[in-house]
A and B are shown apart, each in its own frame.
Chain A
Amino acid sequence: MYLVADISVEICAAKSCKLCTQYCPEANTIQYSDEMGKDRGFKYGSAYVAVDRCKGCAQCVWVCDNMAKNNAIKMIMIDQLPMAALTDNITYGEKSTTAVLASPVVG
């Protein structure tokens, strides 16, 4: 098993600065969804990780902790993530994306 980044919607949606989306070295990996925070009653949306593209470098953790000062991202073993975003389940919209979460191990 290996580590991937996991973003807490509750913590991210309070700030939603999108910094991590600009600092992840991998393309199309940290995505942004307006709905993901708003559908839980938060003012903003949230960033989330397409875990099938994440290489586990933890750069986003450093960026959220030290630049955004929001501590919303943790590294977690992929089989410990009950639900996650995967590229196949992401839909692009005009200004944001939506993701249907699924088990990253079972698919």
Chain B
Amino acid sequence: MSLDYVKFSNGFEKFMPKEYRDMVEHGPFGKKVSVSQMGSFKEVLEEHPMCAGCAMTLFIRLAIIAFPNPEDTITVGTAGCGRLAISQAAIPFVYGNYGDQNGVASGLSRGLRLRFGDKPKDVVVMAGDGGTADIGFQQVLHSWFRRERFTTIMLDNEVYGNTGGQESGMTNRGAVLKMAPLGKKFEKMDMLQMAKVAGCAYVATVVPNNPRRVESVIKKAVLIAREVGSTYIQAYTSCNIEYAIPTDKVMEDAKTVENDRYQFTEYVSEEAKQYLTERYGYKEFLAKPAAPAAAIPGKA
């Protein structure tokens, strides 16, 4: 996989569909694109069957735009709604059995390092909260304890959306769902703390009502995973079907939930800060110049 895999074979250009030609000629491959240019370049994500107005769809759209090198990226997914869109992008997508995504990604990322050496090939897992915190939990945690160098993104809609509304470990206590009619009896799992305990080098929470922030956390997570270790992003991506959110209120809900219980948080290990600063020129982790000493009243 490289930029060449998307290009036309000689003489075939005229037989390719318009969307494909647009993607090769005006897509993000080999260039730097950003969310501020959205609407002006061809995105690699194509049409897919996810529900109208789904915040998870928006998050996936933004995440794919934020990949630092889309032509050198492989996504890994599992059963759940997200794969319906992730699989419809011009980025190789690996789909295994439900819950084995972090095991698959571990092997894949190691294999790519053997094959390509230092040339970065980014592996990004995107899976639902059920896939990550319930069914895939063991493989997720072990991949983190092993410091596998790839990014894990939880598409946290706080429910099993694809199968019609069962509670997951990430559902909030008390939430009533179609297939949890008495309300969930246990607390939402603290996967952020677990990611830190397991040694992730970068852990962030994000909500898609802030596209630039989504872009920034995805970039950092993918870059850090190239060399430093595992990275984890937990994104609130509401399920408007199972939580009965009118589609024109999905961003209002995202804002409310962000203010209420899904504030932006970011943990960056010291090693990761140093790596981003030295390798990719990040300025935000540089020591701030010391503030001038405040005058102490009464002292000369």
Residues of A within 8 A of B (CB): 18, 21-28, 30-32, 47, 53, 55-59, 61-63, 66-67, 87-88, 92, 95-97
Tell me the minimal C-beta distance from B12 to chain A in angstroms.
20
Tell me the minimal C-beta distance from A96 to chain B in angstroms.
5
Flag if A32 contacts B40 (CB, 8 Å).
yes
Q: Which 4 A-B pairs have the closest CB atoms?
A: A57-B53, A21-B39, A92-B26, A32-B39
Majority DSSP secondary structure for residues of A touching B: mixed
Which residues of the partner chain A approach B247 to less than 8 Å between Cβ atoms? 57-59
Tell me the minimal C-beta distance from B157 to chain A in angstroms.
13
Flag if A25 contacts B54 (CB, 8 Å).
yes
Which residues of the partner chain B approach A92 to less than 8 Å between Cβ atoms? 22, 25-26, 40-42
**Closest B residue, CB atoms, query A24:** B58
* Residue in A27, A47, A97 whose beta carbon sits within 8 Å of that of B46 in the complex: A27
**Closest A residue, CB atoms, query B43:** A27
| 144-189 of chain B: CB within 8 A of chain A | none
In angstroms, Cα B254 to Cα A63, docked, is 12
Count of residues in B whose CB is under 8 Å from the partner chain: 34
**Closest A residue, CB atoms, query B37:** A95
Which residues of the partner chain B approach A28 to less than 8 Å between Cβ atoms? 19, 42-43, 45-46
Tell me the minimal C-beta distance from B82 to chain A in angstroms.
12
1/0 per residue, CB under 8 A from A, across B39-71: the answer is 111110111001011110110011000000000
Can you pick out 8 interface pairs between chain A and chain B where the beta carbons lie within 8 Å of each other?
Answer: A25-B55, A27-B61, A28-B43, A28-B45, A55-B53, A57-B53, A92-B26, A92-B40
* Residue in B40, B46, B52, B248 whose beta carbon sits within 8 Å of that of A62 in the complex: B248
Flag if A27 contacts B40 (CB, 8 Å).
no
